[in-house]
Amino acid sequence: MTTQEILAAAVAAKSAMTGLTSKDKKEAILSMADSLMASSEEILYANRLDVKDSLGSMSEVLLDRLTLTAERISAMADSMRSVAQLADPVGQVLSETVLPNGLVVEKISVSLGVIGIIYESRPNVTSDAAVLAFKSGNVCVLRSGKEAYRTSYAIVTALRRGLTEFGLPETVINIIEDTTRSSANEMMAAKGYLDLLIPRGGKGLIRACVENAKVPCIETGTGICHIYIDGAADMEMALAIIDNAKTSRPSVCNACEVCLVDRKIAASFLPRLKAKLTEKREKAVELRLDDEAAKIIEGIPAGEEDFDTEFLDYILSISIVDGVEAAVRHISMHSTGHSEAIVTENDMAAEYFCKNVDSAAVYVNASTRFTDGGEFGLGCEVGISTQKLHARGPMGLSELTTYKYIVHGNGQIR
């Protein structure tokens, strides 16, 4: 089917979602999870073809992300089953007001309609995104990266089998068949079809969506996260937090890219930081230092762009600043608005930092790695918004809904 035909089928499927009760949705998700497990062989076969085609052209880390095993499929089904158990985000009465004229105004959460999601090659995104959209009452249109297309198609086929067994039209979950750039452009232009487009993936894709999309779009993911080590920090804690935020998983958006150090403690802290991040470890972190830090420890001189780059790698830029106000100024100029942390025992510095840093998540004495739907207790996430409208930070089920006002009267006129 052409992209246009798939979009039209998705819009037509909306009415099938409107009639579903919370119980229906829960049971349909369990049916899809069963069907996913029953289709393991087909999915693994498709995945082997995808992996074979990418051998040699893809890094080891990415190949590992692309590769499925029986165990990973089972984890995907478990994740679906846990979403099935979450509270229904749709139909909640957000407020109810009786106006002086007797009108009863209810504000009720409702699904958005049709959600498009453009992503890359992690196969579990296919089942996660489909089930989150479904649980929140939305039809979804998925566009997988072409490296994972056969795998994603097999997963969607399995989910659709679960849908039809439950008596629902398969067009409630759709996958775009054209994996060239032109289908992404068609989705960005699909006004009247898509109520929301979520780009998950590289910076180029996200920028293209935000700048060109004619449909509502949410900017996700890019994280140039800062950790500021205040003069009043507990140094042991500071070292543990930076180590964790930088090296526990450098490839993700909530990893730390820049460390700002209060001048007051730079001379004592920096040598310890260098030792922690570079000595006696499997993979040393490359330190990129501003002029002042370079006077205290050895490292690579930082270029201007090093404070505006999401490395997603074992690289950390370090700058010395004059206290918390200067740290906030640096962050306001260089942050992508994702997650920033201060390490300090000084409550006033912590409060100033929290109040003045304009990011989705601001931490006191904790790692930036916690910015995540699962960690925040949302149950799951479909992405992390770095914009301020609609949703900010981890987007769970309720961020995939909107609301409407339902007003009951008995003839009121104005």
Residues near its own copies (CB under 8 A): 15, 18, 97, 99, 103, 105, 110, 112-113, 195-196, 210-211, 214, 216, 218, 234, 237, 240-241, 243-245, 248, 350, 354-356, 358-367, 369-371, 375-377, 387-390, 392-393, 402-414
Amino acid, res. 120: E
Nearer of residues 134 and 363 to its own copies, judged by Cβ: 363
88 contacts 162 by C-beta, under 8 angstroms: no
Q: What are phi and psi of 75, to 5 degrees?
A: -65, -35
Nearer of residues 15 and 182 to its own copies, judged by Cβ: 15
CB of 102 to its own copies, least distance (A): 9
Q: Strands 93-98 and 104-111, how do they pair?
A: antiparallel
Nearer of residues 90 and 155 to its own copies, judged by Cβ: 90
CB of 65 to its own copies, least distance (A): 19
Nearer of residues 195 and 306 to its own copies, judged by Cβ: 195
CB of 207 to its own copies, least distance (A): 10
**Cα-based angle 24, 27, 30 (whole degrees, multiple of 5):** 150
CB of 70 to its own copies, least distance (A): 27
Half-sphere exposure of 161 (CA within 13 A, CB side): 15
> How many Å separate Cα 208 from the centre of its chain?
17
CB of 118 to its own copies, least distance (A): 17
Token pair listed for 318: 């370090």
Residue 218, Cβ density class (10 Å: 0-12 exposed, 13-18 middle, ≥19 buried): buried
Nearer of residues 88 and 147 to its own copies, judged by Cβ: 88
How far, in Å, CA of 242 to CA of 314, rounded?
A: 12
How far, in Å, CA of 188 to CA of 169, rounded?
A: 25
CB of 405 to its own copies, least distance (A): 4
Nearer of residues 196 and 293 to its own copies, judged by Cβ: 196
**Cα-based angle 352, 338, 274 (whole degrees, multiple of 5):** 80
Residue 288, Cβ density class (10 Å: 0-12 exposed, 13-18 middle, ≥19 buried): buried
